[in-house]
Amino acid sequence: MKPQWVYLLLMLLIAISACDVTDVDGSALNVTFSLPTSDMTSSANPPRYAVIWMGNSVWKVTADGPIPSGATQVNIPIQLPPRHLLEKVQPAETLTYAYYYFPEAPMRRPRIVVYDDTNLNQQFDLLTDQILALDGFGQDYYATIMAFLDLDQFLSSLSIEETQVYYDWTFNKYSKVMFGVADPDWSDFVMPLFEGSSETEIAHVQPVLELQAGNPLLMEKDILCFRHVEEAHDSIYEQIWVDDTLDVEFICSDTTVPCDGFDASIAPDFEAMAAQSQVFSSSCGWGNPLYQPFGASMGTVTCNGCHCEYTHHVITYYLNASALPEWIPCGGQTLSSSLK
Residue 287 in contact with residue 299, Cβ under 8 Å?
no
Binding piece for another protein, criterion CB under 8 A, among 58-66, 157-165, 216-224, 238-246: 157-165
Applying CB under 8 A, which part among 54-62, 166-174, 221-229, 246-254 lies near another protein?
Answer: 166-174
Among 7, 115, 169, 310, binds another protein (CB under 8 A): 169
Q: Which helix (H) or strand (E) holds 12?
A: helix 3-16
Residue span binding another protein (CB under 8 A) among the ranges 25-33, 135-143, 169-177, 258-266 = 169-177
> Among 13, 202, 205, 301, which residue interacts with another protein (rule: CB under 8 A)?
202
Q: Alpha helices of 195-303 — where are they, by DSSP H?
A: 199-203, 216-224, 248-252, 270-276
Binding mask 80-99 for another protein (x = CB under 8 A): -------------------x
- If phi > 0 it is left, if psi is from -120 to 50 it is alpha, else beta; for residue 175 that is left
Task: Tell me if 156 contacts another protein by CB under 8 A.
Answer: yes
Stretch (H or E) spanning 16: helix 3-16
Nearer to another protein, 11 or 158 (CB): 158
Stretch that binds another protein, among 8-16, 137-145, 196-204, 251-259 (CB under 8 A): 196-204
164 binds another protein (CB under 8 A): yes
Instruction: Quote the least distance from Cβ 198 to another protein, whole Å.
Output: 9
Examine residue 158 and tell whether it contacts another protein (CB under 8 A): yes
Shortest CB 154 distance to another protein, Å: 10
Determine, following the binding rule CB under 8 A, whether residue 185 of this chain makes contact with another protein: no
Burial class of 159 by CB neighbour count within 10 A (0 to 12, 13 to 18, 19+): exposed
Q: How far apart are CA 17 and CA 302, in angstroms?
A: 26
The span of 87-95, 155-163, 209-217, 277-285 binding another protein (CB under 8 A) equals 155-163
Instruction: Name the residue nearer to another protein (CB basis): 154 or 241.
Output: 154
Window 237 to 256, contacts with another protein (CB under 8 A): none
38 Cβ neighbours under 8 A, 6+ residues apart:
213
Q: Which stretch binds another protein (CB under 8 A): 165-173, 233-241, 295-303, 313-321?
A: 165-173
Cβ atoms of 224 and 11 closer than 8 Å:
yes
Stretch that binds another protein, among 1-9, 65-73, 160-168, 263-271 (CB under 8 A): 160-168
Q: Which of 110, 114, 122 lies closest to 28, judged by CA?
A: 110
Is residue 181 involved in binding another protein (CB under 8 A)?
A: no
Nearest of 3, 120, 124 to residue 52 by alpha carbon: 124
Q: Work out how close the CB of 131 gets to another protein at its nearest, in angstroms, rounded to a whole number.
A: 37
Q: Does 104 bind another protein (CB under 8 A)?
A: no
Using the rule CB under 8 A, is 157 a contact of another protein?
Answer: yes
Task: Select the residue interacting with another protein from 4, 37, 119, 172 (CB under 8 A).
Answer: 172
> Are the CB atoms for 318 and 285 separated by under 8 Å?
no
| Separation CA 99–CA 197 (nearest Å) | 7
| 291-304 and 279-284 strand pairing | antiparallel
**Bridge-partner residues for 136, per DSSP?**
none
155 binds another protein (CB under 8 A): yes
Shortest distance in whole angstroms from residue 143 CB to another protein: 17
List of residues 6+ apart from 197 with CB closer than 8 A? 99
Phi, psi (rounded to 5 degrees) for 313:
-110, 110
Binding site for another protein (CB under 8 A): 99, 101, 151-152, 155-165, 167-169, 172-174, 176, 184, 199, 202-203
